[in-house]
Every structure is written in structure tokens, then in C-alpha cells.
Amino acid sequence: MKYDIQPADGKLGVLIPGLGAVATTFIAGVETIKKGLSQPVGSLTQMGNIRLGKRTENRYPLIKDFVPLANLNDIVFGGWDVYDDNVYESALKAKVLETHLLDAVKSELQALKPMKAVFDREFVKNLDGTNIKTEANKMDLAKALMKDIEDFKATNNCSRVVMVWCASTEKYLEHADIYETVAAFEAAMTANDPRIAPSMIYAYAAIRMGVPFANGAPNLTCDIPALVELAKELQVPVAGKDFKTGQTLMKTIVAPGLAARALGVRGWFSSNILGNRDGLVLDDPDNFKTKEVSKLSVLEEILQPEINPELYGELYHKVRINYYPPHGDNKESWDNIDIFGWLGYQMQIKINFLCRDSILAAPIVLDLALFMDLASRAGMSGIQEWLSFYFKSPQTAPELKPEHDIFKQLIKLQNTLRHIMGEDLITHLGLDYYQELVESL
């Protein structure tokens, strides 16, 4: 049965806390794509196909032609940052895109000035911006954000808005009782409890305004019972955490392959150097801890040592991130993987990925914005686990383990799209082709 999906009429506002490297690469990219100057490579919504029906039917539409997504020409951008650089200046400083490409959309980017941020240096010590709101408590800060959202929507004549967190990684937080219920969370906001992070205030404001919220960083943010409860109550989609780019993308491509062939893995050492502002923030041990926890969970979930101790019981997994300014946004990662095969004979795999962090992250921001808007129009609310494909540490219901295998994540994403559009799900069983052959003889 097809879902009753509201049409994507009117403008879609994409609001972004954190107008740094990822956000500016995303915004500038979309603007140049709108002008026909570049291609949205890496975006599944724009360049990916989906198979429909049987293999013999040869139906492989582009995803954007299959599901009713917002058109790129209908997107308008806005955001908040602790620095007051406009998007053009911020993009120049991020040094991801070449100046000639930025100059082609200079007026559009210069027009985007960050709103005052909700920020607390306790959560990100290595930043010192001053474009910051000064309301008396965290509830008042949330109300100020809600007003920003309302004003943005009216000024830009948007019919819908989504929010994607692209701001810095906050320090590590343990689960606490104030995160358990909406009432406890709201009381803690009013009492200025130090365990309420800025990202939670943005997520709260978005959900209260009916704005879908996706979290691109590893902070807890909306991954707490109180905000999940509020999202369900107000029928708002939420998703997170931590964009899956670079090294973790490789890990979730390679590890399922090794497990598929029942090859053993004894050790996996992952090391990174990066020199952008994200790297500077992660140079602080409290912020690195948040990222480390997010990155470490991936292998155990894919290889499942508890059900396969002979192959994966000895697995030693280590992740290192080092701040190295000369590399800028061009992160370099090395993976040393110690594997073993038939009769326990040892082998090694070395992966040296010279990637561009924000180039990999930008299409994820686009896809999340479009899919979260689709989810909202299709009446899907609460945690959007079908978008795990985009995250290092997918948010799931409390009793569920996240699925990290990128191929299973893709099947889930595509089957969700088929499901909401009333198409048959694809199981890849394929026996029906042979049955039909027998019957036709």
C-alpha cells in the first residue's frame, strides 16, 4: 500500500547549526549544481538508481524520479555559527573548494550570514567565537532558536524546514536521569543544568517547531529518551549520529566483505591525520572521546565476536586521530588490518585513503535534508533508522543494536522507499524466475 505523501510544494528551508567546512561545502556545492556548473556526485538522492520489480522488468529509475523529493531549486539555506563570517568567507577559510568555484556563487554565499549561536565553551574548548546568544537560561535559549526558525521561515517564504547539525563535536556525555523524560529535560533546561549541551537545545527547538532534525556529529544530541519521546509525540522525524565518511565508510565496506567470506580478523589499527577546524576541536581529549566511541562501535557490530569467537574473539581495535594542520581538510588515514584465513594463516591488508572529508560529507547533508523532509511529508516520525546508511553510529530504538554493514543499510533504505511508494520489496531470493521457467516449459 502506498503512503499518502504530501507533495513537495513550495520552498524547503535547510537550517544548519555550524557553518564550517562541511556546511559551506554543501551549500556552495548545491548553488553551483543549481547553476549547472558541477554534478552532485556522491549523492544517492540525485545520482543513485533504484531497481523496481523483477530483474526482467528493467526498471531502474533515479531515486529522485521515483520518490517525491524537494527540487534543489526550491532549497533555501540558513544557519548559526559562533563566528560571524558569512558563508563565502567561511568557505574561503575552510579551503575545501577552489576560489574560482566559490566566486561563481559569491553573491548567494555572501548573503548567508550566520545567526547568533547557542554555544558553551565547556563543550568545545578549542573555539573562541563571539557570535553567541546571551539569554538567561537554556529554555530561553531554545525559545530564541524557535524564534529564529519562525523568522527564517517567514522571511524566506518556506513551506517546510529541516535542520542538520554540522557544528563541532561536543565533549563526551554519559546518559543521565535528566535525559529520561520530557518533563525532567525541560526542568533541567530552565535550571541551566550543565549536562544540557548546546546541540540538545537546537534539537529541542527544532522538534518543538515540528522541524525534522538530523545530527551529523557524534554528540548525544537527540539520542536521548526525552527528545525521542517528544519527537514521537509531536510526530517529527529525527536521525543521527555522526556522518559516515572517510575511514569509517571504508571500514563498513571492507569488514562486511571479510565476514561474508568467514575470514578472521585479529587486529584493526586505524590512524588519521587531519588539519581542519574539526581536527583542532578533536585535539581536545574530551571531544576526541565522543568521536572515538562513535568510531569504535562499528567493527564489533559487524563482526559480532560474541557469536563468532573463533574468527573475531581476539579482535584488537584501535582508533587514533591526530591534528596535523598542513593537511587541512584533506584527511589521510591508514588502516592496518591483520586477518587470517584457511588453517589460521595470517595475512595483512593496508588501506591508505587520501580523502577529502567535506567532499564526502556534503552529499550526505543534502540526502539527509531531502530524505528527512520526505519522511515528514510521508507521516514518518521518531527515529528514522532507515537512514543508518549515512551515519557512523546510527540512532536506533533502545532495544535494538545498530546495523553498520553498509550493504544491509542500503537494502533497508531502498526497501523503505519501495515500501512507502507501494512497490514490491526486493529480497534478492530470485527463485521465482526459475519457477516461472519451469512452469513455462
Ligand X SMILES: NC(=O)c1ccc[n+]([C@@H]2O[C@H](COP(=O)([O-])OP(=O)(O)OC[C@H]3O[C@@H](n4cnc5c(N)ncnc54)[C@H](O)[C@@H]3O)[C@@H](O)[C@H]2O)c1
Binding flag, residue 395, ligand X (CB under 6 A): no
- Give how far Cα 371 sits from Cα of 60, 177, 234, Å: 19, 32, 18
Site for ligand X in 184-203 (CB under 6 A): 198
> Is residue 219 a contact partner of residue 291, using CB atoms and an 8 Å limit?
no
Cell 536521548 belongs to 224
Contact stretch for ligand X (CB under 6 A) within 41-49, 56-64, 148-156, 272-280 = 272-280
Nearest distance in Å: CB 416, ligand X: 23
Contact stretch for ligand X (CB under 6 A) within 30-38, 121-129, 419-427, 429-437 = 121-129
Nearest distance in Å: CB 127, ligand X: 5
Sole binder of ligand X in the list 215, 252, 276, 333 (CB under 6 A): 276
Nearest distance in Å: CB 400, ligand X: 22
Sole binder of ligand X in the list 217, 224, 238, 378 (CB under 6 A): 217
Nearest distance in Å: CB 70, ligand X: 22
Binding flag, residue 391, ligand X (CB under 6 A): no
User: Between residues 32 and 169, which has the closer beta carbon with respect to ligand X?
Assistant: 169
Spatial distance between the Cα atoms of 339 and 382, rounded to a whole number of angstroms = 39
Nearest distance in Å: CB 68, ligand X: 28
Contact stretch for ligand X (CB under 6 A) within 14-22, 298-306, 315-323, 398-406 = 14-22
Binding flag, residue 246, ligand X (CB under 6 A): yes
Binding flag, residue 204, ligand X (CB under 6 A): no
User: Between residues 67 and 205, which has the closer beta carbon with respect to ligand X?
Assistant: 205
Sole binder of ligand X in the list 127, 255, 302, 319 (CB under 6 A): 127
Binding flag, residue 83, ligand X (CB under 6 A): yes
Q: Across-strand partners of 362?
A: none
> Is residue 231 a contact partner of residue 375, using CB atoms and an 8 Å limit?
no
Contact stretch for ligand X (CB under 6 A) within 18-26, 59-67, 319-327, 407-415 = 18-26
Binding flag, residue 169, ligand X (CB under 6 A): yes
Binding flag, residue 20, ligand X (CB under 6 A): yes
Site for ligand X in 286-345 (CB under 6 A): none
Sole binder of ligand X in the list 32, 168, 297, 393 (CB under 6 A): 168
User: Between residues 167 and 366, which has the closer beta carbon with respect to ligand X?
Assistant: 167
Rounded to the nearest angstrom, the gap between the alpha carbon of residue 158 and the centroid of all alpha carbons in its chain is 23
Spatial distance between the Cα atoms of 368 and 388, rounded to a whole number of angstroms = 10
Q: Across-strand partners of 52?
A: 59
Nearest distance in Å: CB 234, ligand X: 23
**Chain residues that interact with ligand X, rule: CB under 6 A:** 17-22, 80-83, 94, 117-119, 124, 127, 129, 166-169, 198, 216-217, 242-243, 245-246, 276-278, 281, 357-358, 360-361
